[in-house]
Amino acid sequence: MGISVPAFPVQAVSDVVLRDGSTMRFRPPRLKDAAALLDFFRGLSDRSLYLRFHGHPTVDERLVAPMLEPDWTERGALVGMDGERIAALASYARLRNAGVAEVAFAVADELQGRGIAMRMLERLAALAGLVGIEEFLAEVMPDNGAMLRVFAEAGFQTSRTTESGTTEVRLRLASTETLVSRIDERDHVAVSASLKPFFSPDSVAVIGASPRARSIGGELFRNILRGDFVGAAYPVNRSGGSVAGVRAYESVAQIGEPVQQRRLQAVTRGEFGHGMLPCNWTQAVLAVGSFDTRRNDTVSPSSW
C-alpha cells in the first residue's frame, strides 16, 4: 500500500501555486483546528453550505470532529490555509467497498474561482491512492456547476449519473496520459501567472537604494529610472534621503501603496545597522511577489 500511515502528516503538507499565481498551503487538519474549522463553516454563505452538505446542518463540534486528525486509511482530509485561517476543506471517507471513497469539497466564498478545489482534488487523489483507494465518488447537486466542472476538467476517467435530484460522479484515480497532461497544463498556467509580477510589475521598491553616488543600490535604482520601466519606483534606505531626485522612504511600510516587487541590495551589515542585515552580502537579492506595504515590512531578513 505504499508508505506507512505515520509518514502521512509530512507527505500531506504541500504548498501549491493556484491559477492566479498565488500560493496556498494544504495540510491535514489537527485537533487544535476544531475552532478554526468551525469558523470556516460558519463563514460560508447559505448556498455554499447547502451545496457542501445538501442541506443546512447544525454547525457545531460534531460536524467537524470526523475531519480532524485523519487516519488516511478510512478518512483523509486537507485544509487550505489563507494565512492563518482555514479557507478550504477537502475530505474523503472510505466506503464499504474498500477501493472507493466518498469525497467532498468546500471553499470560502470570496476565494472560489481560483482553482483551489481542483488543486485539492489532485493532492487528495494522490494521497488516497497511497492507501489503496482506486476511485472517488462524489454526490453533487445538479446546480453546482462549478464543482461539476472541476470533476469534468480534472483529467480523471469519470462517469456521471443523475437520480433523485443528485448527480453521482465517479473518478478513477489511476494515472493516465490525460491526467498528467491536464496537471501539467494547470502547472504551466499557475507558474506563468506567478511570474507576471516579476516580468511586468506595476511598481518596484529598491531596498538599500543609497543616495551616495556610484553605490550599488543607488545605481540599481537609477538603472530602473533610465530603463523602459513605466511603473512607480520607490527608493528605500535608512536615512530616507532622496535618490536621483526621487523621494525615498525609510521602510517599505512608509510607501503606503501596494508594491509588486521589491529589490533588496545590501553591501554590509553596517549599511542598515547592527542585526538588520547579514554580514558579507555582496550581491543583490530579489524577492518577488505581491505584498501590501501598509503592513509593517522592514529592511530585515525576516521581511525578505
Query: Residue 139 pairs with which residues in a beta bridge?
Result: 168
Co-location of 117 and 253 in the same domain: no
Co-location of 58 and 181 in the same domain: yes
**The pLDDT of residue 188:** 94
CATH of the domain at 11: 3.40.630.30
Co-location of 91 and 213 in the same domain: no
CA distance 61 to 36: 11
DSSP E strands in 70-165: the ranges are: 75-82, 85-94, 100-107, 135-140, 157-163
**The pLDDT of residue 9:** 57
Co-location of 245 and 270 in the same domain: yes
Residue 218 Cα to chain centre, angstroms = 34
Q: How many domains does the chain have?
A: 2
- CB-CB contact of 204 with 234 (8 Å): yes
**The pLDDT of residue 39:** 97
Q: In Å, how far are 221, 231, 238, 277 from 298, measured between CA atoms?
A: 18, 22, 10, 11
**The pLDDT of residue 274:** 33
DSSP E strands in 120-156: the ranges are: 135-140
CATH of the domain at 259: 3.40.50.720
Co-location of 80 and 172 in the same domain: yes
Co-location of 11 and 107 in the same domain: yes
**The pLDDT of residue 2:** 46
Co-location of 15 and 31 in the same domain: yes
Report residue 156: phi and psi, to 5°: -75, 155
Using the 3D structure, point to which of 163, 181, 197 is the last residue of a domain.
197
Q: Which of 205, 215, 191 is nearest to 287 (CA)?
A: 205
Taking the CA atoms of 93, 94, 95 and 99 in sequence, report the sign of the dihedral they define: positive
CA distance 266 to 209: 9
Q: In tens digits, what is the pLDDT along the chain, a chain of 304 residues?
A: 444 444 555 578 999 999 999 999 999 999 999 999 999 999 999 999 999 999 999 999 999 999 999 999 999 999 999 999 999 999 999 999 989 999 999 999 999 999 999 999 999 999 999 999 999 999 999 999 999 999 999 999 999 999 988 999 999 999 999 999 999 999 999 999 888 877 777 788 888 888 888 888 888 888 888 887 788 888 888 888 999 899 999 888 888 766 655 554 443 333 333 333 332 222 233 333 333 434 433 333 333 2
Co-location of 232 and 175 in the same domain: no
**E strand or H helix at 23, and its extent?**
strand 23-27
Q: Residue 248, SS3?
A: coil
Q: Residue 292, SS3?
A: coil
Q: Give the range of the structural domain holding residue 178, as residue numbers without chain letter.
A: 5-197
CA distance 252 to 258: 9
**The pLDDT of residue 218:** 86
**The pLDDT of residue 130:** 92
Grid-cell match 467497498, residue found: 97
